[in-house]
Amino acid sequence: MPATTTVDLLRLSPDFVRDPYPVYAALRAQAPVHRVRTPDGPEIYLVLGHETCRAALTDPRLSRDWRGSGRLRQIINADEDDPNLAHMSMAEPPDHTRLRRLVTREFTPRRIDALAPRVQEITDGLLDAMTADGARRADLVDSFAFPLPMTVICELLGVPELDRHSFRRWSNEMLAPTSPQAQGAAYADLGAYLPRLIAAKRTEPGDDLLSALIHTVDEEGDRLSPAELVGMCNLLLIAGHETMTNLVGNGMRALFAHPDQLRLLRGDLGLIDGAVEEMLRYDGPVETSLERLALTDVELGGVLIPAGSTVRMVLADADRDTARFARPEAFDIRRDTRGHLAFGHGLHHCLGAALARVEGRIAIRSLLERCPHITADIGADALPWVPGLLVRGVRKLPVRW
């Protein structure tokens, strides 16, 4: 049956952006699908619960091919021919299959594993700088959680050092825009920069992923087009740092809020792998999936989603579903977290999940080794939160040790 009402998320809870979990749980108890008004205005359909989200994430009737739909402006202030969008996250098979195959040829587990020593080196340098002044206070986001993945992904792709400060502004506006105009300007600025970078890499290739993507050719002679190179570079740069920044920030906030778990991990850093997985499940860096377009009328959980609707799967709620995890509201670093959806599921499962895990383990372990008494330096309700439904995290995280 069709949804008969539109739920205003902020009316349900003025504190929704900081703590959306009770709202999601209350809605899930009523039905797995709801038409809602989001905090930034648009009306969309939300899919809740672990089982329903998993099913929706693999449902071909819910498409990421916005560029071919004629409805792109429904979700992004950009044009269909914008090369920033010519990537696999905005495609469905067969285009998605082709693009992912070409990128996977170079974005290999071997390349990721080889990065670990460099990730450790960058981590150590950032912690040296963070602790150098003796003040024993810092903003963990600005001094550590943001520059670590930004440096790693830029080095991986071969982005020059002096260009990196621009990416934070562009990324913020693309993923959590302050206005449609600011989002459009960010797409335009990055779209102007990336072709210049790619042209330089063609002339002087290096031992980096972007140089490899420019020159990679599969067995059938296929290669990425100029627009697809821009799109893939955009996707890897933006996704490559945003997820990791908020994995560290959200993970440390969870530890601060659960001192017993912080003591447990500090006393046995061999638990780091499970701790990172629980951080991803408990308060992961991606709150909902990217928007899907309902290609036809779709019935999920007894609710009809009309063709043309914008749909998001709430990954944060799926990983707090009592039908999948016992006591999901508890943060337990020894929990069996298998099956969490923090990196999505299906065709669009995050390509960089392995890299995020490597960085997360090194970052959290090194931070606790260097600053074993680290704690929050401000109350959680005073933190500046990232707006929107996609990214789950804070802009700043003051700490002391």
CATH code at 232?
1.10.630.10
Question: With 80 as the cut, is the pLDDT of residue 338 above it?
Answer: yes
* Residue 2 placed within a domain: no
Q: 199: how many CB neighbours lie within 10 A of its CB? A: 11
The H or E element that residue 236 is part of is: helix 226-257
Cβ-proximal residues to 226 (8 Å cutoff; 6+ apart), any chain? 83, 195, 198
Q: Which of 25-29, 98-102, 109-113, 208-212 has the highest mean pLDDT?
A: 25-29
Confidence bin at 170 (pLDDT 50/70/90): confident
Domains held by the chain: number: 1
pLDDT tens-digit readout, 283-321: 999 999 999 999 999 999 899 999 999 999 999 999 999
The domain in which residue 338 lies consists of: 7-400
The pLDDT, as a whole number, for residue 113 is 84
Average pLDDT, the chain: 92
- In this prediction, residues 155-174 reach a mean pLDDT of 79
The pLDDT, as a whole number, for residue 168 is 76
Tell how many helices (H) and how many strands (E) occur in the chain: 15, 11
* Residue 97 placed within a domain: yes
* Residue 150 placed within a domain: yes
Distance CA 309, CA 312 (A): 10
Percent of the chain with pLDDT over 90: 69
**Length of the chain (residues):** 401
The pLDDT, as a whole number, for residue 219 is 65
The pLDDT, as a whole number, for residue 59 is 97
Nearest alpha carbon to residue 351 among 201, 273, 238: 238
pLDDT tens-digit readout, 65-103: 999 999 999 998 888 889 989 999 999 999 999 999 988
In one letter, which amino acid is 164?
Answer: R
Question: With 80 as the cut, is the pLDDT of residue 175 above it?
Answer: no
pLDDT tens-digit readout, 210-254: 898 898 876 678 889 999 999 998 898 888 788 899 999 999 999
* Residue 229 placed within a domain: yes
* Residue 145 placed within a domain: yes
* Residue 1 placed within a domain: no
Question: With 70 as the cut, is the pLDDT of residue 2 above it?
Answer: no
Tell me the three state secondary structure of residue 164. Answer: helix
Nearest alpha carbon to residue 380 among 396, 368, 364: 396
* Residue 295 placed within a domain: yes
* Residue 188 placed within a domain: yes
The pLDDT, as a whole number, for residue 218 is 65
